[in-house]
């Protein structure tokens, strides 16, 4: 297919996203193609490792292609989105558990679905242009594709902060937060790719890595840990409202823009993922929300405001973050019974 190339080159299996004009947004067909390649290469001795990369300078993968989900959902057809998510999550789990090294070269935007393919491998590379985020609360979703597990493993309460606010981070902060492992200057990526193809020696990534330019999260760690330590969104809001720093004011302003229901569920899901530290459990919990996101959540309105009409003025089900009750969060995350995610 034209949106993605999967092939064996030299010693590696290589997956290249080829939709640069669409910021390499991940379609349903692309998800299935990635899974097909994984299944073919897992036990193939000719493949020493897997490399994921993408065409274009602006993005590795700026997220999932959700326009078709929106189109179906607004007609009352929730099945397409649920199928997309369940199959995507299965592919994410296979990447996380892949029996060989998996490297990714993540230039530009890596968000949402891009995190699900770029940030579950063993050798995750960022460069000068890298901007990584899980901005789902801004469209009425939660950080999915296994994102809640990555957030749960971040130092302190950085996971709650990045997940609820959708904060965008550069290379050093991506490494600090656990979304990436290595900084390699992007001018070196072609030579590194060529060496991996020729040798299949993933330690070439270690040799090419350098110190990333300074980030900000490490300096903000203590304040983030204090402000986002609460058990619930209400606790976080109370802490932010009682603080006087510029950081707290900015975080509070952001939380007042995103979907209140999504922000509340995100904090709960990060806590649950931290308690279990299991990719399949994290994905199963995320699917409980995404399964219900069209009929019970803010997803359709969020996509309308941000992607379709682009008025950036969503009318959420709740007027403010403080209006979300613990019961509503519980209801969004109840087990799905026979509809539960199967991986």
The residues carrying an active-site annotation are 64, 113, 136, 144
Which is nearest to 268 in space by CA: 326, 199, 337? Answer: 326
Q: Nearest 5°: phi and psi at 293?
A: -65, -25
Which is nearest to 162 in space by CA: 135, 199, 186, 182? Answer: 135
Q: Tell me the helices (H) and strands (E) count for the chain, helix number first.
A: 16, 9
Which is nearest to 64 in space by CA: 109, 130, 126, 123? Answer: 109
Instruction: Give the residue ranges of the chain where pLDDT is below 50.
Output: none
pLDDT at 216: 97
Q: Nearest 5°: phi and psi at 105?
A: -110, 105
pLDDT at 1: 56
How is the chain split into domains, by residue range? Answer: 4-133+171-208, 217-339
CATH topology of domain 4-133+171-208: 2-enoyl-CoA Hydratase; Chain A, domain 1 (3.90.226)
The model's pLDDT over 98-135, given as tens digits with 9 standing for 90+, comes to: 999 999 999 999 999 999 999 999 999 999 999 999 99
pLDDT at 272: 98
Largest Cα span, the chain: 59
The model's pLDDT over 252-267, given as tens digits with 9 standing for 90+, comes to: 999 999 999 999 999 9
Q: Is 69:84 a contact under the CB 8 Å cutoff? A: yes
pLDDT at 65: 85
Which is nearest to 316 in space by CA: 331, 330, 301? Answer: 301
Q: In this structure, how many other beta carbons lie within 10 angstroms of the beta carbon of residue 261?
A: 29
- The enclosing H or E element of 8 equals strand 4-9
pLDDT at 2: 83
């Amino acid at each position: 297919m034209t949106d993605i190339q999967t092939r064996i080159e030299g010693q590696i299996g290589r997956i290249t996203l080829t939709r640069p004009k669409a910021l390499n947004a991940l379609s349903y067909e692309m998800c299935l193609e990635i899974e097909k390649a994984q299944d073919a290469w897992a036990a193939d001795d000719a493949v020493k490792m897997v490399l994921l990369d993408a065409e274009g300078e602006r993005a590795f993968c700026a997220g999932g292609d959700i326009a078709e989900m929106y189109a179906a959902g607004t007609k009352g057809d929730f099945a397409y989105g649920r199928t997309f998510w369940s199959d995507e999550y299965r592919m994410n789990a296979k990447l996380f558990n892949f029996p060989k090294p998996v490297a990714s070269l993540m230039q530009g935007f890596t968000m949402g679905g891009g995190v699900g393919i770029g940030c579950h491998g063993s050798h995750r590379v960022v460069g000068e242009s890298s901007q990584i985020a899980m901005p789902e609360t801004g469209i009425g979703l939660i950080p999915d594709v296994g994102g809640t597990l990555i957030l749960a493993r971040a130092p302190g309460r950085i996971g709650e902060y990045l997940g609820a606010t959708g904060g965008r981070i550069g290379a050093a902060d991506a490494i600090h937060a656990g979304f990436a492992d290595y900084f390699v200057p992007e001018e070196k990526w072609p030579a590194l790719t060529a060496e991996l193809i020729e040798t299949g020696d993933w330690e070439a990534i270690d040799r090419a890595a350098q110190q990333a330019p300074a980030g900000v999260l490490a300096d903000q760690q203590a304040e983030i840990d204090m402000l986002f330590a609460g058990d619930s969104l209400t606790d976080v809001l109370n802490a932010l409202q009682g603080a006087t720093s510029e950081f707290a004011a900015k975080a509070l302003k952001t939380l007042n823009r995103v979907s209140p229901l999504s922000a509340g569920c995100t904090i709960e899901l990060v806590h649950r993922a931290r308690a279990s530290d299991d990719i399949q459990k994290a994905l199963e919990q995320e699917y409980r929300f995404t399964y219900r996101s069209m009929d019970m959540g803010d997803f359709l309105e969020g996509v309308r405001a941000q992607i379709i009409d682009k008025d950036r003025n969503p009318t959420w089900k709740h007027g403010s973050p403080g209006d979300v009750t613990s019961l509503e969060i519980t209801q969004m995350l109840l087990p799905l019974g026979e509809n539960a995610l199967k991986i």
